[in-house]
Amino acid sequence: MSKTALKLENVGMKFNLSSEKLDSLKEYFIKFIKKDIKHDEFWALKDISFEVKKGDRLGILGLNGAGKSTLLKVIAGVYNPTEGNVYRKGVIAPLIELGAGFDPQYTGSENIYLYGSVLGYSKKFIAEKYDEIVKFSELEKFMDVPLKNYSSGMKSRLGFAIATTVEPDILILDEVLSVGDAKFRKKSQNKVQSMFDKGVTVLFVSHSIEQVKELCNKAILLDHGRIIASGNTEEVCKIYEEKINN
C-alpha cells in the first residue's frame, strides 16, 4: 500500500433547490422585481475527506439519498465540487451510466469512435482496440446498424465493451453490473475480476452489504452527505447494519 490514487479534501457539493423551477424569462423578471427568488440550499455532500491508496478497493455504503451517486459524479469529474479539492491520479473508468454519449442515429461502429472519444481515448487507441471491442460485445453483425435499432441489452453490451477496453487505474462501479443475459453477465464479471486481479483501485457503490464484504477491503458510510464511518469493511458494515435495524 503505497501511492495515493485518489484524494478528496473537504469536498462539498451544494445544490440550489428553487422552490419553483424558473426557466422562463418572464417568470424570472417578475420574481426578480418582487425579490421573490428563493433558493433553498441543500448540501448533498459536506466535508468529505478521504484517501484511497493504489490497489485499495473502497466500498461506499449509504441509504438512498445519502449522496453516493453525487460523490461518484464528483470523483468522475461530472460535477465540479462547490468547495474542496479532488486529486485523481491515472485513468478513471467510470462504469456508471454506460453508453453516455451514444447517438441513436449513429451506427454501432460510429458510436464506438464517438463514445471512445468522449471517454478520452485517442483515435489510434480505438482503432487498435476496435476488433477487440466488437468481439467482446458479440455484435459483429450489427456494426453497420443504427443504434436505435439495437435492443437495450445490445446497447449496454457495447457500452460495457468500450468502457472496459482501457486498463484503468481507478475503476468506479455502481451496484454490481448486470449487463445483458446470464452469459454476458458472466463474461463481464470475469472481465471486472481480471481488472481486480491486476490491482486496479476500485470504488464500489452498493446497498448490499454482502457484495461490499466480498469485494472491498475498505469502506465508508455516508449519511445525509457526510461520512459517518470509515475504515475496515467489517467495522463499517457493522455500523451500517445497526443503522438499518434501527
Distance CA(179)–CA(167), nearest Å, equals 19
Q: Does residue number 76 form part of the binding site for other proteins (CB under 8 A)?
A: yes
- How far out from the chain centre does Cα 88 lie? 14
> For other proteins, which residue of 30, 100, 127, 244 counts as binding (CB under 8 A)?
100
- Are 167 and 22 within 8 A, CB to CB? no
- Are 77 and 13 within 8 A, CB to CB? no
Q: Does residue number 30 form part of the binding site for other proteins (CB under 8 A)?
A: no
With respect to other proteins, which residue has the nearer C-beta, 62 or 99? 99
Q: Does residue number 25 form part of the binding site for other proteins (CB under 8 A)?
A: yes
Q: Which stretch binds other proteins (CB under 8 A): 55-63, 109-117, 127-135, 229-237?
A: 109-117
User: Least distance in Å: CB of 69 to other proteins?
Assistant: 11
Dig out the grid coordinates for 142 from the structure: 450489427
Q: Does residue number 133 form part of the binding site for other proteins (CB under 8 A)?
A: no
User: Least distance in Å: CB of 25 to other proteins?
Assistant: 5
Distance CA(244)–CA(240), nearest Å, equals 6
With respect to other proteins, which residue has the nearer C-beta, 22 or 239? 22
Q: Does residue number 43 form part of the binding site for other proteins (CB under 8 A)?
A: no
Helices (H), the chain: 25-33, 68-76, 108-118, 123-137, 152-163, 182-197, 209-215, 233-245
Q: Does residue number 149 form part of the binding site for other proteins (CB under 8 A)?
A: no
With respect to other proteins, which residue has the nearer C-beta, 55 or 101? 101
Q: Does residue number 122 form part of the binding site for other proteins (CB under 8 A)?
A: yes
Query: Residues 154, 156, 159, CA angle at the centre, nearest 5°?
Result: 110
Q: Find where cell 442515429 sits.
A: 105
Q: Which stretch binds other proteins (CB under 8 A): 33-41, 112-120, 169-177, 233-241?
A: 112-120
For 8-30, letters b (16+ CB in 10 Å) and e give beebbbeeeeeeeebeeeeeeee
User: Least distance in Å: CB of 152 to other proteins?
Assistant: 15
Cα radius of gyration rounded to whole Å, the chain: 20
Q: Does residue number 94 form part of the binding site for other proteins (CB under 8 A)?
A: yes
User: Interface residues with other proteins (CB under 8 A)?
Assistant: 15-16, 23-26, 28, 76-80, 94, 96-97, 100-101, 103, 105-106, 110, 113-114, 117-123
